[in-house]
Amino acid sequence: MGSDMTFDECVEQGQKDCDPVNLWLQIPFFCGHSYRCRQPGSRWALDMAKYNLINHYLLVGITEELGDFIAMLEVILPRFFHGAMELYLSGERSHLRQTNKKESPSEGSIKKIQESTIWKMEQEFYEFASIQFHFQKRLLFQAVDSLEPGENISDRKSYLLSDGKLYVPKEVQIHYEKVRPR
């Protein structure tokens, strides 16, 4: 895509850079190394990606809730992610997570992309990953306003999550530890 060309112009002209085939990213990543994973639009690849997400990943986050993902990592794997939330919120490069001059695509361009099989499959995978992420978040955190009266949370760190509510990790936590062979 040329530096002066808008996304709408690219879609309208059928340019290679905005071909829906370029959206085939997350499914092959989670699917694996089989040649079938690289075939855009493969139902087998989508099913394998879902299977692998559930069976081989401790936690998969979603971009629009990156802060929640980092909070979850900090709770689940504190030896590795202790202080990660503070770093995320106050880091020197936090400004890099904002886009300055973002021009939204037209409804026509969006519709054309969303009609493609590849977009539909990638969206299905995203929705699947999002459901898993929110399920894990509900297992891990409890809203402060839903605590029992008098319940002591002074020993638990609180997190302000993307919905604007304050949460604390639930009492029962799973401890992950590397098992070393003898």
Question: Would you write out the chain's pLDDT as a tens digit for each of its 182 residues?
Answer: 446 888 899 999 989 998 999 999 999 999 999 999 999 999 999 999 999 999 999 999 999 999 999 999 999 999 999 999 999 988 776 556 566 667 899 999 999 999 999 999 999 999 999 999 999 999 999 888 877 776 676 778 889 899 998 998 987 656 666 677 77
Q: pLDDT value at position 1?
A: 46
Token pair of 114 as six digits: 């969303």
CA 71-135-23 angle, 5° bins? 85
Q: What is 7-91+107-169's CATH topology?
A: Rossmann fold (3.40.50)
Domain ranges, ordered by start, for the chain: 7-91+107-169
Report pLDDT for 112: 93
pLDDT at position 100 is: 65
The helix-helix angle for 107-114 and 117-140 (nearest 10°) equals: 90
Say what the pTM is: 0.82
The reported pLDDT for the residue numbered 95 is: 58
> How much is the pLDDT for 44?
98
Distance of CA 90 to the CA centre of its chain: 21
Contact 72, 136 (CB under 8 A): yes
The per-residue pLDDT for 2 is 46
**pLDDT value of position 140:** 93
